[in-house]
Structure 1
Amino acid sequence: MISLVLAMVWNRRGQAVTLALLAMLAVASAVAAPAYLVAAERVVADRQIARAPARDLTLVTRHTIDNQEDPLGTVDIRFPDVGRVLFLGLNGFTFHHSAEVPTVGLEKDNSLPSRLVFRQNLCAHVRIVAGRCLVGEGDVLLGAASSERLGIAAGDTITLTAARMNGLARPPTWDPDGSPKTLTVAGTYRPIDPTDAYWGLHGYFVSGDDMGPGEPVFTNAVTLDTMVRTTTAMAIDGVPQPGTIDVDRLGQLRADMGRLAATADELEGSLRFESGIPRLLDRIDEDRAAARLLVPVLSIPLVLLACFTIYLTVGYGAVGRQSELAVVALRGSRWWTRWWLATGESLVAVLAGAVAGCLAGQLLVNTVAAILFPGVGADPALTSLRYAPFAAVAALVAAVVAQRRQLVSPVTGLLRRAPVVDRRRLPAAEVVVVVLAAVTGAQFALVEDPLTGVGLFAPALIVLALALVAARLLLPLVNRYAVRALNRGRLGVALAGLQLSRRPGAGRLFALLVASAAVAGYAACTVDTAAGGRDAEARLGTGADRVLTVQSVTRQRLLNGVRAIDPDGKFAMAAVHIAGGAGAPPGLAVDTRALPGVPAWPGGAPDRDDLRERLRPTAPTPIAFGSQDIAVEATTTSTDALELAVSVSSLTGQGEGLVELGDLRSGTHTYRQEVPICLGGCQINAIRISGAGTVTRVRGDVVIRSLATTTPAPLTDAARWRATSETRLSASPDGLRAEFEVSANVAQAAWIQPASTPFPLPIGYAGTAPANGTILDAGATTIPVAPVAALPAVPGVGRQAILVDLEYTDLLSREPKRAPEPQIWLNAAAPADIVDRLADHGLHVVSETSAGQVRAALDDEGPAVALWFHALAAILAGLLGAGALALTVAVDRIRRTEDLAALRAQGLRPRPAGQATLWTYPVLVLIASALGLLVAAAAWRLTGWALPLAGLTPPDLPLPAWPRPEVLLGAGAAVLVVQFLVAVLGGRDLRRRIEPR
């Protein structure tokens, strides 16, 4: 029997090889999914490690000593014994000791301490600008910017005293607490790379209003040892050596981090262990989780499509061998003999293909990984084969089920050339598929986490069900068209149509071709929609082509510096993020002059030029002092202590400030102050009248009689001024009267502003407009606003945010305040030396982000890496359809050759015969490909919304929900070309066979 089956295989070896290849594709698809997941997880980890900032690659152990425990400050500032115990068994790290003492004496005030720092191996990581590096006791290094700002050069001496925070002062101050120490400035420095892992997690070079200038004073260990200290913050930093944080050591790293944290807790309560490595490992796990969700979305329909292909092709082959099986049945062979002869040929081919598929799937993934992810590797493992037995069994079962009719049919049924087909009866398998698609689709739509359980099968079953329904609906129409063509004498069209509509299994072939095109189309939807989302996240999420963050400066200085470099707003735009809060949305304040050309712009947003005009309407001419001689004449009868100040900004870009004019005295007096930044003139931003002393409430009645402005100020017109809610303004014959009641705290003061800006402030908004009609600007000032335009999203912020003019916002915030993270947005036209130009205007760049960098990082994350498998699935789906079609054409060729040759012998003309042979299957492919794209679009509409294409935590941006039409059409065209070629070649071969020689 075995030799007979093998002879059958050899006799129809073309069909056997094709079936084996289809089985190989089926099992290879099942192997490729887990194998690709292994490769994808390696890629995700490797890319995350490569892009991780230094803070996520280091570890640090801290211990703080207070001089109340060590009054003389004699504790060794290094604690190597602790390090040896804590880091025992931790290999692959280089360790650096450091110590830090808060001091005063360097800066003019004591609002913040100067950081006096010892750090091991310092000189190898700083560039000496002037002088030399540290040598002996008493040497210090001063930051180059601090040296210039304070006027201290290399060789000068400074005096520093250890300090302790006075929490009772408001605001808190740092008071000296110890003996002062005279130190020599050995040199000035700049860090070679402030982001280098050597600097650990200490934030030495981070500056801000609450952090200081971002330049520690560095010294050596012997200097700190001989200094009386208040508190000493000691640390041991671990910096990984090359290869330590590697994709193959992630499990060991997590175990090491857990052990270190536990050991630190056991050693001493004040010992703190910190590391960014656990954050990195968590981020890798999140990325891997996204990949694990996306790969099965198309691996499942690919395997189902492969099984359906085997079912169809084996069934076609069984129909072609019915006459042989009828002879076997007629001889009265026992059931197992009949079963073996009926199924053996197909089972041998399927089994051989399944064995080859195990190797082919892994080799395919290895090849793809080598091409797409060089240097990482696929890391082949036996776990990749865990689904191979199930796929092989499924393929074998499909082969057996496909021949069930031939196994049980009587001889008369096997001998029929045209089996009876009851079109009113729906096959049970198709009904089951449709019902399962409805059930899984309902769960997919209703549950909170659809990509779990049977929800994972929803896309596959929906595609298959829609393909079967399309075949059921279309083939009767084809049959009707063929009958009409026959009645009209169009024999070629009629024969082609009847072959499609009445041939047993033609409907399933059509459904298979629709499903293969649909799987390829669905893959195109996922890949292109995700790519569009990453592009939107990179452009809109970043805000512009490049975003530079500069050291903290006032908003006016930021505006002046950027406008000095780009006065027309062609390539640079000043921007400050507004944090929001208290019900006010976050937002972005920008120099709207550059709005038309610099920021990324969401689709569907208003015209930028029009929006600029709305956000920055023409305002009244500002009231300005003409020189540095600031003078205010005011009258008051109040007996409470009051203070007068004026907020001004230079008209020539020299800066801004709050000019304190002193106490208001009873009666009429002129208050005068020389302000150097106003040498070329200053704009009045606001006048502040505040309480002083210790009283709870302060009542005042002040008349501002005159201002030393270039043109007379409109003091007798109260409508030209506005004030805070505590203040009532009115016009008097002498000037502008202000009546108010405030607290003695300067935080609550009476503010009077010239009406030199629109009020309420016009804003653009995304999402919903501010409910209370106010925003909280970057200066923490509540500003009434008037929405003038709705946006799909605010670049760099999101879909629930506001957009305002930075200059108007700054003026309305009354007094100069530093922006915490001022930014400069650039487009592609920005000059190459823009960073140096900004530094020349006092804007020092501390970090840079570009849309290109963000896009590259997103392309390395789990979702993007996983979607390469979708592209691979699309190729395999197209090949499965083409293989099934090739085998079907080969099986049909014998019977159709007999039929058409007989018709030709009876007088069928060559032209209709050629139409019947050449265009039967090409038309089928053409229609199936078109319907496949419609099925893909429908399946995408039903399930695509739930796929984590933008990661597990998608950004609040308007990401595309549909692919570009040309991409979807391109995927369908690629499948069509391959399958159409197979159909045409099969038709030409059939025509050659029926033509008389």
Structure 2
Amino acid sequence: MISLVLAMVWTRRGQAVTLALLALLAVTSAVAAPAYLIAAGRAIAAGQIATAPNSELSLVASRTVDVRDESTDSAGITFPDVGKVLLDLPGFAYYHSAEVPAVGLEETVDFPSRLVFRQEICAHVRIVSGRCLAGEGEVLIGERTAQRRGLAAGDSVVLSAARQNDQSRPPTWMAAAVPKTLTVAGTYRTADTTDAYWGRHGYFVSGIGISSGEPVFTNPVTLETMERTSTVLTIDGIARPGTIDIERLGELRADLARREQISLELDQVQFDSGIPRLLDRIDDGRAAARLLVPVVAVPLVLLACFTIYLTVGYGAEGRQSELAVVALRGARWWTRWWLATGESLMAVLAGAVAGCLVGQLLVNAVSAALFPGVGAEPAVTSLRYAPLAAVTALIAAVVAQRRQLVSPVAALLRRAPAGDHRRIAAAEAVVAVLAVVTGAQFALSGQPLTGVGLFAPALIVLALALVAARVLLPVVNLLAARALRRGHLGLALAGLQLSRRPGAGRLFALLVATAAVAGYAVGAVDTAGQGRTITAGLGTGADRVVTVQPLTRRDLLTAVRALDPDGAFAMAVVRLPGGSVSVPGLAVDTGRLATVAAWPGGAPGPQALHRLLHPGAPESPVLSAADITIDATTATAGRMRMVVSVSSLAGHGDGLIEMGDLKTGRHRYHQRTEVCRDGCRINGIRLSGAGGGSAITGQVTLHEVNTTAPAPLTDPARWRATGQGRLSAAPDGLRADVQVTASVAEVVWIQPAVTPYPVPMAFAGNRPADPLITGVAPAGIPLAAVATLPAVPAAGRQAALVDLEYLDLLAVDPKPVLDPQVWLGSAAPADVDEQLAAHGLVIVSGTTAAETRAGLDEQGPAIALWFHLLAAVLAALLGAGALALTVAVDRVRRTEDLTALRTQGLRPGPAGQATLWTYPVLVVIATAVGVLVAAAAWWLTGWALPLAGITPPDLPLPSWPGMWSVLAAAGVVLVVELLVAFVGGRDLRRRIERR
């Protein structure tokens, strides 16, 4: 019997090979999914490690030693307790450091100098003058500090360890140890402040009241010989290449957890590392991949099994006459069963065995192309679904031949087999019910891509394909009958072949599902790609964004405008942090939005928005020299004081100029300030209490201010007051009725009205009832929405955008802003970093849209979606294979039918149309319907796919794929299947002509 079955296989070897290939694709799909997940997991880890910032590749153990809490024998710079945390943790380059706060170098006591010992310091700085450290009592000072303090190599400085004076407001630093005279061995400059060597100490962050941004480096013997207040002892570990390896991530996580536990057991020792954040991101990426790969792998496997079911059923119908002879001779049931199914089962089994190997080899080849150097790491776990897929394929083959196994001889001899419409309808109803159930679970569950919800996309595609077949094939039958009545024989024969051929509906549904799976898979890839592009561009804000050391808004604007006078590539940006009453967002130099910023689709043009956010306004009152003179009349019930806020027009900074206590009657008040030596603008005049009494009320009339571009004092509309201040016109000036407290808690500011008020803003999201910006002006700045945006670049869909210059004009207290930024466009020159430094802008950190995109491309969702493209290719091959086998099976019967019609007088033209256009028409209609099914399935399920990344930004990301990408996928499927259809049609035509 085996030899007979083998002979049958050989006789129909073309069909057997095609069926084996379809089974191979089914098992390949089942093997490729877990194998790809293994490869993707390794690629995700490798990509995240390669793009991780330095802070996520390092660890630090530290301890603060205070002489008040430690015995005298701990005065040396030793690291025994700190070192215990890092004991037996290989693969890291360790750097020891110690830091002591000191005063004596800087004129200010708002912050201490950082006196630092750091191992191997001379290898990581550039010596500008002098030499590096050699002996006790020597220090290296920064280049800018040396210039500011007039120091050079060989000079002496006196430093004292310091403590914070908590009694002062704000807190200051004071000497609290014996001073030590130190020699300046040399001056240094840092080449790269973001180098991993510097760890997370923030040595080079500067700002008013923060730090000079240039530590004083020394050696351990110098620290040991000086009296110290407190010493921060630190060991930084920087991961060497290969330490954070994809082969030992679990082991590394366990090692870090043990270090954390050890630090808890030691007294006052802290351990911190950014590596767990990296490991968590890798785990999150792998979890996203485990969701995205099955979404398309499940429909692919179901499509493969459906293909086997359909093609085996077609083949069994073609062999009914043979099976009828077997049944007529009274063969026993097992003989009949074996002869009926053996041919198909052997082909399916051979394809299933080959699929186990091909699936892994296919993933190996794809991984080698996409993830070079990572490898697929073949594992037995890749084959865990292969037996299930193989058994499912064998069951599908048996079920497809069930009627041939049990039907009587008379039924087998019929050319038009008895229909089993009820069973087919019942099966389709089951699929529809499952699609509804899984779709409901998908829509209602908080985690739709779990449980049966994971099967929802596959079942929805299959159900819609079956419904489409039920609806469209009767329409084709009506059109064929109409063509027949009109005498179009070729079209009529082609249509009737499609509509009345047993199994044509299932073939149509299969081809629809093929196009739908390919379109759905490519649609997911395209949607995710669009999202990554928007995240990289709009999420970053510009081609490149650099954060500079803290400085005032005016200094930032002045420096950036001097760097780029034409506004071609640079824009000053300050973040608005938001709060309980303050809106978050950005303040930017809006005139440069068009040339610098990434811009959201659907928003007003950046130039039009600039005109809305920066309408014309009066000029600020300007002082042309360093002298400030104010003529005022005062009538108050208590002592009041006047202060003038000014900002230099030449970049000399800002200042609060004390004009002194106000005297009753009319007087002239005069002060001189170097800030205004090249001109100043007046930001405002402050009236405050000067002690004595709980509340001070009175009237101050300003007669004259010596400005060259004055705001008329006789026009109260050109001025505004904050707090308990009321302005009105006096015969010869501006009258202010004020009420303040004796302290500075409640004051009145009189400011020139040189900006629109409320300040114009563009807003994205749900607009608050009374939007304000706090922390800038004496009172909250009210905002008025003049435009709506889909999103604010780099700030998201719930943020405001305002003009930075107007915001600066409203500020009266010139404080540095945290994390000021410079956004750079594509036209930025190659040496822009040097130009930034030349204009006093010291880069602290930075990122680019390209770097952001590269990081997103290495995340789990992006890597997992490569499998969707592979699935689209496999789906196209399944459809083509099923069509090829169907054409081969139909060939014998259609040759007989059309030859008979030709004998009865059918012209060659209609016969040619019937042979050439039957399956191409079927393919075209099925592909078009498949695109619609893909769109419907995407509408129902695409929203839940984690396409936007691990931590999706609050941006208007696309929810639909581009039309052209889906059409391109469907076009590829169409071309492949049309090629099979035309080749089969031409072969059928030649057979008919030979007869």
The TM-score by the shorter chain falls in which range?
over 0.9
Instruction: List per-residue Cα deviations over 1:378-414 (Å, max 9, x = no partner).
Output: 1111111111111111111111111111111111111
Match of 2:891 in 1: 893
Which residue pairs with 1:742 in the alignment? Answer: 740
What amino acid is the match of 1:5? V
1:489 is matched with 487
Q: Give, in angstroms, the shift of residue 6 of structure 1.
A: 1.3
Distance 1:418 1:780 in 2: 91
2:500 pairs with 1:502: yes
**Amino acid in the other structure paired with 1:19:** L
Tell me if structure 2 keeps the 8 A contact 1:700–1:739. Answer: yes
1:649–1:682 Cα contact (<8 Å) kept: yes
Correspondence for 2:257: 258
1:211 alignment counterpart? 210
Please name the residue that 1:126 is paired with. 125
What is the CA–CA distance in structure 2 between the aligned matches of 1:438 and 1:165, rounded to whole Å?
68
Residue aligning to 2:50: 50
The alpha carbon displacement at 1:983 in A equals 0.4
Which residue identity is paired with 1:33? A
Change in 2 beyond 3 A, CA 1:665/1:223: farther
* Counterpart position of 2:309: 311
Deviates more, 1:146-155 or 1:221-230: 146-155
State the 1:72 CA deviation.
5.3
Task: Describe the shift of the 1:573–1:979 C-alpha distance in structure 2 as closer, same or farther (beyond 3 A).
Answer: same
Aligned to 1:18, what secondary structure does the other structure show?
helix
**CA distance in structure 1 between the aligned counterparts of 2:250 and 2:693, rounded to whole angstroms:** 64
The whole-number CA distance in structure 1 between the counterparts of 2:857 and 2:696 is 61
Report deviation, 1:711.
4.6
Distance 2:466 2:939 in 1: 18
Aligned to 1:412: 410
Q: Is the 8 A contact 1:141 1:217 kept in 2?
A: yes
The match for 2:771 is 773
The aligned counterpart of 2:356 is 358
CA contact (8 A) 1:577 1:778 kept: no
Matched, 1:930 2:939: no
Distance 1:47 1:996 in 2: 61
Distance change >3 Å, CA 209–CA 32, structure 1 → 2: farther
C-alpha contact 1:28 1:360 (8 A) present in aligned 2: yes
Structure 1 distance, partners of 2:222, 2:73, is 12
| Residues 181 and 641 of structure 1: CA distance in aligned 2, closer, same or farther (over 3 Å) | farther
Return the letter of the residue paired with 1:109: T
Deviation at 1:53, TM superposition (A): 1.3
Q: Which runs of 5+ in 1 are unaligned?
A: none
Partner of 2:99: 100
Residue 789 and residue 91 in structure 1: after superposition, are their counterparts in 2 closer, same or farther (change >3 A)? same
Deviations 1:533-581 (A, max 9, x none): 1101111101111212222111111111122232232222111111111
Question: Within 1, Cα distance between the matches of 2:777 and 2:445?
Answer: 44
The answer to whether the 8 Å contact 1:440/1:457 transfers is yes
> Cα deviations across residues 137-164 of structure 1 (Å, max 9, x unaligned)?
1111112222233332222221111111
Equivalent-residue separation in structure 1 for 2:519 and 2:48 (angstroms): 30
CA contact (8 A) 1:578 1:777 kept: no
Distance 1:994 1:654 in 2: 96
Corresponding residue of 1:69:
69
Taking structure 1 as reference, are residues 182 and 662 closer, same or farther at Cα in structure 2, changes over 3 Å only? farther
Distance 1:385 1:827, change over 3 A: same
Aligned to 1:706: 704
Give the structure 2 partner of residue 462 of structure 1. 460
Displacement of 1:694: 7.3
Q: Match of 2:312, as an amino acid?
A: V
Q: Which amino acid aligns with 1:20?
A: A
* Counterpart Cα distance in 1 of 2:224 and 2:347: 82
Q: Shift of the alpha carbon at 1:622? A: 1.9
Residues 528 and 170 (structure 1 numbering): CA distance in 2 closer, same or farther, change over 3 Å? same
**What residue in structure 2 maps to residue 26 of structure 1?**
26
Q: Residues 188-241 of structure 1: CA distance to partner in whole angstroms, max 9, x if unpaired?
A: 112233222222222222334453122211110000001111111111122222
- 2:259 counterpart SS class: helix
Mean CA deviation greater in 424-433 or 583-592: 424-433
Is 1:324–2:322 an aligned residue pair? Answer: yes
Counterpart-to-counterpart distance in 2, 1:873 and 1:526:
12
Q: Distance in 1 between matches of 2:236 and 2:560?
A: 39
Deviates more, 1:234-243 or 1:537-546: 234-243
- Is the CA contact 1:86–1:260 (under 8 Å) kept in the aligned structure 2? yes
Q: For the Cα contact (< 8 Å) 2:620–2:709, is it kept in 1?
A: no
Tell me the distance in 1 between the aligned counterparts of 2:284 and 2:905.
Answer: 70
Compared CA separation, residues 111 and 210, structure 1 to 2 (3 A): closer
CA distance in 2, matches of 1:43, 1:229: 50
SS of residue paired to 2:75: coil
Contact 1:689 1:750 in 2 (8 A): yes
Contact conserved, 1:463 with 1:936, CA < 8 A, in 2? yes
Checking the alignment, whether the CA contact within 8 Å between 2:26 and 2:301 is kept in structure 1 is yes
Shift of 1:911: 0.6
What's the CA shift for 1:664? 2.9
- Structure-2 change in CA distance of 1:950 and 1:503 (3 Å): same
* Amino acid paired to 1:290: A
TM-score by length of 2: 0.97
**1:302-338 residue CA offsets vs partner (Å, 9 max, x unmatched):** 1111111111111111111111111111112121111
Q: Give the letter aligned to residue 200 of structure 1.
A: G
Contact kept, 8 Å, 2:581 with 2:771, in 1: the verdict is no
Match of 1:830 in 2: 828
**1:937–1:630 CA distance, 2 compared to 1 (3 A):** same
Structure 1 Cα separation of the partners of residues 36 and 89 of structure 2: 32
Q: Report the secondary structure of 1:597's partner residue.
A: helix
Q: Pick the aligned partner of 1:542 from 540, 543, 548.
A: 540
Q: Identify if the C-alpha distance between structure 1 residues 416 and 123 changes in structure 2 by more than 3 Å, giving closer, same or farther.
A: same
Q: Which moved more, 1:222-231 or 1:588-597?
A: 588-597
Cα pair distance change 1:7/1:38, threshold 3 Å: same
Change (3 A) 1:583 1:939: farther
Aligned residues: 995
Does residue 842 of the first structure (1) align with residue 840 of the second (2)? yes
Query: Residues of 2 paired with 1:568 and 1:839: CA distance?
Result: 19
**2:147 aligned residue:** 148
Which portions of structure 1, spanning 4 or more consecutive aligned residues, are displaced by more than 6 angstroms?
none
Per-residue Cα deviation, 1:939-968 (whole angstroms, up to 9, x for no partner): 111111111101243111011111221111
Mean alpha-carbon deviation: is it higher for 240-249 or for 643-652?
Answer: 643-652
Q: Is the CA contact 1:562–1:574 (under 8 Å) kept in the aligned structure 2?
A: yes
Aligned to 1:679: 677
Letter in 2 for 1:75: A
In structure 2, the CA distance between the partners of 1:639 and 1:111, relative to structure 1 (3 Å rule), is: farther
Asked if the contact 1:529–1:960 (Cα under 8 Å) also holds between the matched residues in 2, the reply is yes
Query: In the alignment, which residue of structure 1 is the partner of 2:515?
Result: 517
Amino acid at match of 1:336: W
**Structure 1 residues 638-691: Cα deviation after superposition (integer angstroms, max 9, x where no partner):** 354433221122334443332232333444332222223323322111111223
1:75-86 alignment to 2 at 5 Å? 75-79=75-79, 81-83=80-82, 85-86=84-85
Cα displacement (A) at 1:284: 1.1
Q: Tell me, yes or no, if the aligned pair for 1:125 and 1:191 is still in contact at 8 Å.
A: yes
Does the 8 Å CA contact 1:548/1:848 hold for their aligned counterparts? Answer: yes
- For residues 87 and 588 of structure 1, the distance between their equivalents in structure 2, rounded to whole angstroms, comes to 43
* Within-5 A mapping of 1:152-191: 152-191=151-190
Corresponding residue SS for 1:581: coil
Distance 2:350 2:423 in 1: 36
Change (3 A) 1:571 1:277: same
The 8 Å contact of residues 295 and 455 in structure 2, kept in 1 or not, is answered as yes
1:881-936 Cα offsets, whole Å, 9 max, x none, are 00000111111111111111121122111111101111100111111111111111
Please name the residue that 1:138 is paired with.
137
Measure how far apart 1:459 and its partner are.
0.7
Verify: 1:235 aligned to 2:234, yes or no.
yes
Q: Counterparts of 2:67 and 2:513 in 1: how far apart (Å)?
A: 77
Give the match for residue 115 of structure 2: 116
Q: Which moved more, 1:12-21 or 1:208-217?
A: 208-217
- Where 1:863 maps in the other structure, the secondary structure is helix
Distance 1:591 1:548 in 2: 15
Find the aligned partners of 1:512 and 1:481 in 2 and give their Cα distance: 22
Letter of the 1:886 counterpart: A
Q: 1:778 to 1:482 in 2, by over 3 A?
A: farther
CA drift at 1:93: 1.8
- Note if contact 2:711-2:718 (Cα within 8 Å) is conserved in structure 1: no
Amino acid at match of 2:455: F
